[in-house]
A and B are shown apart, each in its own frame.
Chain A
Amino acid sequence: MASLLELKNVSKIYGDLHALDDVSLTVEKGEWVAIMGPSGSGKSTMMNIIGCMDKPSLGQVLLDGKDISKESQTSLTTIRRDKIGLIFQQFHLINYLNAVENVMVAQYYHSVPDEKEALAALERVGLKDRAKHLPSQLSGGEQQRVCIARALINNPEIILADEPTGNLDEANENIVLDIFRQLHKEGTSLVVVTHDPEVGEVAQRTIRLEHGKIISDEKNENFVE
């Protein structure tokens, strides 16, 4: 069986700057991978490439065995919609839509909005009773959970989280990490980009980047299934 995600000798070059320099990486289905590194190490570039928001300058990206590195912008959008759930540091909720409506937006672009399913997704992240609240009425942690529910709603192949706890206090950070654990148990593949060691260390596998290259890739021995 093919790997879920495979980067083959991927480089991203901006002028003279090699944001990613000949990186190869494989992520299996159901894996929980943390990508770590200081700022400027190429994390964001990698995240964008995996999230189908950017294309590599060189190399191949295989998602579900399909090469996406040469796809057009339009088909990248389609792939992102169908296979990837995004979680952002700044949550990026639409401020005039309430929690459940924000989740439904993702359904709307994917297939069909269905309030019951959206509510179920919110229930999964423990926010059923806050479903009718607007983002401005939710705490940061709650907003991030809405964001997670939105990422989950279309059953993506991969959940891609960019500094998901960057704007959260410790209590909320733990809630989010608990949800990740839960998702992992249910078999969802997770790629978390972070510079926070605590978040990185709870993952199944940690990849460290520096100057566009992978400097370490190790399984977390303390990881509890």
Chain B
Amino acid sequence: MIKNKKRLMFFKMISLSLLRRRSRMIVALLAIVVGATVLAGLVTIYYDVPRQMSESMRSYGANMIFTPDGTDSLTDEMIERALSYIPARDLDGYTPYRYENTTINKNPVTFAGVDFDGVKKTAPYWNVDGAYPTRDGEVLIGANVAKTFNLGVGDKTVAVSSIEITEDVDESLIPDYEIIEIDGVKSADHELPIKVVGIIQTGSSEEDYVYLSYSDVEYLTAKHRGYDLVEVSVNSTGGLESYTTSISNGVEGLRAKLIKHVAASESAVLTKLTSLIFIVTAVVLLLTMICVATTMTAVIAERRKEIGLRKALGASNLSVVGEFLGEGLLLGGVGGILGSVLGYVFAEIVSKNVFGGSITFLWWLIPVTIIASVAVTGIACLIPIRSAVDVDPALVLKGE
């Protein structure tokens, strides 16, 4: 009963001190909230930005390739097995390529069978004038091919593939063609009418190819075959090397390699960026905490008289420290809660504006922020209180 009443008075005193001295309370709270916001906001960003940056690095497209290793080509089953080594959430996309040589107007052109949805992921930098093909017979052509054959979007032409009739030719794909036999070698000229729906510009070798669907390539060559190359785009926050090693070892006949200039600069930029944010966070946090401390010191220091009075009324040093600390800690707690909310809001704003996505909510950051702001506030209060309680009450009360 007695204890309850004392405790009640304790809380009444510290809460009234905060409520009725509103302007001072706001000053102190503001300082703490700013500190806590910086803490929560920057730490959230620090944890989440590398992930988000890594995702936007995917605009560079593929950073890993699979090639056949001692086999003629890669099968769907091999690719699937290889991809199983990469966690699904880190796999941004992949595109198997099947290259075949054919001709347009009797000139040789390399055709590449691709999955256009995959290409959008692994080669997002393709600048397509026109559209991506949506049905069989529609093709994308490289800018160089377009110039060479004077083809524009919407133009139609015919790709001709001269097929040597061997065992692996699926003759059901060439039912109506005239088979010519020269010196015991049977061959047929197989035609595929194509329509250009888009022209790609990349500034590099992609401009020399014609891209079309797998089924068109199959029809054109009359051969069932696997893929020559798979481009894979993987989110990396490190550990790309280990994927390639385990895939190369784990899948017979398939070799995984990093596209080094992409992978290396990705990790370089990510590392720099991460350490930049880390050190910025550290510096800003340190300075903000000092600011919180100086403000708290100022707020407490102006109450020396009150401390003297309490001592004159018979308060022990311990209880004075207890009351002022209680006040500081309450303020620190409230500031910490507000700060973790505002910090999250800030991080979310950053994430929305910079990366266009949501930030990961770090639940553990809430208690950390609250504890940190309580601790900083507590320490910041303790220093001036300690020096204040040591003063002679008589001096304080006498002095103006």
Contacts and interface: CB of A to CB of B under 8 A. Distances in A.
Complex: A in contact with B (CB within 8 Å): yes
B314 A110 contact: yes
A97 B303 CA distance: 14
Interface in B305-330: 305-306, 309-317, 319
B310 A109 contact: yes
B313 A105 contact: yes
A94 B8 CA distance: 18
Interface stretch (A19-27, A78-86, A215-223): A78-86
B21 A82 contact: no
B272 interface: no
Contacts of A86: 312-313
Contact of B21 (A44, A53, A96, A108): A96
B313 to A, nearest CB: 5
A111 B12 CA distance: 16
Interface residues of B, number: 30
A104 B9 contact: yes
Contact of A77 (B8, B17, B19, B315): B315
Nearest to B20: A96
A19 to B, nearest CB: 12
Contacts of A97: 13, 16, 20
A17 to B, nearest CB: 16
A106 interface: yes
Contact of B394 (A51, A78, A114): A51
Given A51-B394, A54-B394, A114-B5, A94 B306 contact: yes
Nearest to A48: B394
A108 B6 contact: yes
Interface string B380-400: 000000000000111001100
Contact of A96 (B8, B17, B312, B317): B17
A82 B311 CA distance: 13
Contact of B311 (A44, A77, A95, A150): A77
A88 interface: yes
A5 to B, nearest CB: 17
A113 B315 contact: no
Contacts of A112: 2, 5-6
A142 interface: no
Nearest to A104: B9
Nearest to B2: A112
B399 to A, nearest CB: 10
Contact of B8 (A51, A92, A113): A113
Contacts of B311: 77
A109 B8 contact: no
A113 B19 CA distance: 20
A157 interface: no
Contacts of B9: 104-105, 107-108, 113
Given A44-B398, A86-B312, A105-B313, A96 B5 contact: no
Contacts of A48: 394
Interface in B343-400: 392-394, 397-398
A136 to B, nearest CB: 10
11 contacts: A48-B394, A81-B315, A82-B314, A86-B312, A96-B19, A97-B20, A105-B310, A107-B9, A108-B6, A109-B313, A109-B315
Interface of A: 44, 48, 51, 53-54, 74, 77-78, 80-82, 86, 88, 90, 92, 94-97, 101, 104-114, 134, 150
Closest 5 CB pairs of A and B: A81-B314, A96-B20, A53-B394, A113-B9, A48-B394
